Amino acid sequence: MANEKSRAEQYRDERKARIAKAAKKNASKIEKSTAVRKTVGRVIAIVLAAVIVLGALGLGLSYYGVPQRLIVLGKVGNDQKVTIAEYEYYYMTAYNQLYNMAAQYQQYGYDYGFDTSLAPEDQTGTTQDEDGNEITWSEYLHNQAVAVAQQNKAYYNEAVKAGIKLDKADEQQIENIINDYKEEANPSDTDDTSSDSQRVKYSLNAWLRKLFGGSVNKRFLRKELRIQLLAQKYITERTKELAKGYEQSEIDKTYNADKDTYDMVDFRYYRFANEELTQNENETEADFNTRKAKAEAKVKADAVAFDKVAVNESAFVAEAKKLNSTDESYDVDSSTKTTSALKSDIEQNFSADIAKWLFDSSTKAGAKKMFTDTDAGTYYIILLLQPKHQVDTVSSRHILFKTVDDSNNPLSNEEVAAAKKKAEDTLKEWKSGDKTEESFAALANELTEDTGSNTKGGLYEHQRPGQMVKEFDAWNFDANRKTGDVEIVKTEYGYHVIYFVSKDGKYYNNAIRDSKASEDVSQEAEKLIKGDDYKVYFGKRCVPYAENRMKKKIKSLVELRAANSSSTAS
């Protein structure tokens, strides 16, 4: 029994065991708690890191316009969505057009009403909406963005429904526009200009963000240009469709009621004008006035003498040549002869009095008259060759490779030879393909140096005799000319690869059809826009957000221009 423990000792041992067990259990809990805290800490750290990364990513995505290209701002009709990016694109396009127009007016000393040195919301001046209501310039830009979005979406949808598609020439036009932006963004070192776009080189997407805000990139621009071009094509195709549908009797009735608007005349003219003299440094005012009066008297005497001698066309031509005998490049026909001139053209380029006389039924072929504009100090001797008449018109496409610079000064012999080779290579390229009008139009949009037709596939429709330069004109109006004829023609401006499209009939017929169709398609378009099918629904939350983004963008542009202007001045 001596080895047996007393109850007290047994109790103490059991108590120690319980304490040890409890301690071990608590230790296990502490370990688990510590592990949990470590795990939670790691999770929190990961979450915080993710938040930071996502925040930075969100800012980056926002900077590059990803959310704006996805978030729908509103709709045109039931199914044409308008994203924030599209709204911003239209808004900035409207601002750039407004800015450029106001700057152009300012350059010529006119006030357009928009201050280019201020952001739109900072201007006290106002403008008017289409209903004549006074609005701020910020409201104007918003209205323009909404209106263009509505028109583009509506006409695009109508084009899709009508089965209208873009052709090769249209696709080439889109590429040309994108390439123009590329050249603006990354100009060659030989460009001689001080504009901001030429001082700094950008990637294309960076340049587009600069022009239109952070939402626009190359992919977005191409998509938007396709929508715009298809919308424009719908209007063009619809106009052509309507033009064909009018009864000939209706066209003739319109012509017979107002022949002076659609008839034309041929005439020769010679102009004498006073020179603008300035007072010499040591010349008295009296002496200057005497010299000025003497010079003006001589101009008048020369005009009277020409009028007396030029009794008929041959005498008119001989006297004109005599007065310009020292000019080896003088061409009497291109300098004095005007053919197929409309009354409106004469009123604009000469005077209303001259137009009235030429179109008077009592003025016969061979009649001559001198017209004096005392205020302008000019004298015109006008000889009527052919009274009011109609002419046949033609349509053709061309690709121009220039042999003169922008001031019409001749290029070097090497550059002229290069222009000729380009024309020959272009003709070979077209002949090696499918040899269609569509493929020619695509080449014209890609290659032509004629800015008047480089977005129209080189097309000039319903040309009148005398409207183009004489060599171009002579080729077009050759009696044997037929659709599909292609040839290189040299003119004073360069080498033209010309594709003959069609003989179009009398001028008045096409002019009246086009005029009526334009009026009717405008009424159709207005009805379409104001109808129920293409109503605009814009979300109230997103519009202020998008507007504020544009206001900040424009304000930063204005501040940047001001800073650049200050640094340039200093």
Pairwise CA distance, residues 221 & 212, whole Å = 10
Asked whether residue 255 is assigned to any structural domain, the reply reads no
Pairwise CA distance, residues 452 & 455, whole Å = 8
For residues 97 and 208, state if they share a domain: yes
For residues 170 and 77, state if they share a domain: yes
Residues in the chain: 570
Asked whether residue 528 is assigned to any structural domain, the reply reads no
Residue of 442, 460, 451, 469 lying closest to 502 (CA atoms): 460
The per-residue pLDDT for 333 is 93
Average pLDDT score, the chain: 87
Per-residue confidence at 72, pLDDT binned at 50, 70, 90? confident
For residues 218 and 137, state if they share a domain: yes
Average pLDDT over residues 554-569: 80
Pairwise CA distance, residues 34 & 50, whole Å = 24
Asked whether residue 527 is assigned to any structural domain, the reply reads no
pLDDT digit string, tens, across residues 343-353: 999 999 999 99
Pairwise CA distance, residues 557 & 209, whole Å = 12
Asked whether residue 518 is assigned to any structural domain, the reply reads no
For residues 230 and 278, state if they share a domain: no
Q: Which residue has the higher pLDDT, 34 or 304?
A: 304
**203: containing domain:** 72-244+539-569
Going by the DSSP 8-state scheme, the letter that residue 404 receives in this structure is B
CATH of the domain at 428: 3.10.50.40
Copy the structure tokens of residue 385.
């060759």
The per-residue pLDDT for 130 is 83
Determine the 3-state secondary structure of 504 from DSSP.
Answer: strand
Asked whether residue 252 is assigned to any structural domain, the reply reads no
pLDDT digit string, tens, across residues 160-210: 999 999 999 999 999 999 999 999 998 876 554 444 444 678 999 999 988
Looking at 13, 34, 63, which one is the last position of a domain? Answer: 63
Pairwise CA distance, residues 452 & 456, whole Å = 8
Q: Does position 2 have pLDDT exceeding 70, yes or no?
A: no
3-state helix, strand, coil in the chain (%, to 5): 60, 15, 25
Residue of 123, 126, 102, 98 lying closest to 112 (CA atoms): 102
For residues 238 and 353, state if they share a domain: no
Q: Does position 34 have pLDDT exceeding 70, yes or no?
A: no
Pairwise CA distance, residues 341 & 172, whole Å = 35
Pairwise CA distance, residues 170 & 131, whole Å = 35
Copy the structure tokens of residue 508.
């008045």
Q: How many domains does the chain have?
A: 4
CATH of the domain at 351: 3.10.50
The per-residue pLDDT for 213 is 77
Average pLDDT over residues 422-431: 97
Q: Which residue has the higher pLDDT, 156 or 561?
A: 156
Average pLDDT over residues 50-57: 39
For residues 238 and 104, state if they share a domain: yes
pLDDT digit string, tens, across residues 393-419: 999 999 999 999 988 999 999 999 999
The per-residue pLDDT for 546 is 87
Per-residue confidence at 456, pLDDT binned at 50, 70, 90? very high
Q: How many other C-beta atoms lie within 10 A of the C-beta of residue 421? A: 12
Q: How many other C-beta atoms lie within 10 A of the C-beta of residue 109? A: 6
CA angle 504, 508, 512 (to 5 degrees): 100
Q: Which residue has the higher pLDDT, 56 or 504?
A: 504
Q: How many other C-beta atoms lie within 10 A of the C-beta of residue 429? A: 13
Q: Write a three-state SS string for 61-121.
A: HHHCCHHHHHCEEEEECCCEEEEHHHHHHHHHHHHHHHHHHHHHHHHCCCCCCCCCCCCHH
> Alpha carbon 141 to chain centroid distance?
18
Per-residue confidence at 567, pLDDT binned at 50, 70, 90? low
Pairwise CA distance, residues 533 & 78, whole Å = 8
pTM, rounded to two decimals: 0.77
> Distances in Å between the alpha carbon of 315 and those of 328, 354, 372, 383?
20, 21, 21, 11
Q: Which residue has the higher pLDDT, 41 or 465?
A: 465
CA angle 74, 77, 78 (to 5 degrees): 90
Pairwise CA distance, residues 525 & 553, whole Å = 33
Question: Which residues have C-beta within 8 Å of that of residue 232, sequence separation ≥ 6?
Answer: 155
Determine the 3-state secondary structure of 330 from DSSP.
Answer: coil
The per-residue pLDDT for 62 is 47
Asked whether residue 183 is assigned to any structural domain, the reply reads yes
Q: Does position 447 have pLDDT exceeding 70, yes or no?
A: yes
The per-residue pLDDT for 186 is 86
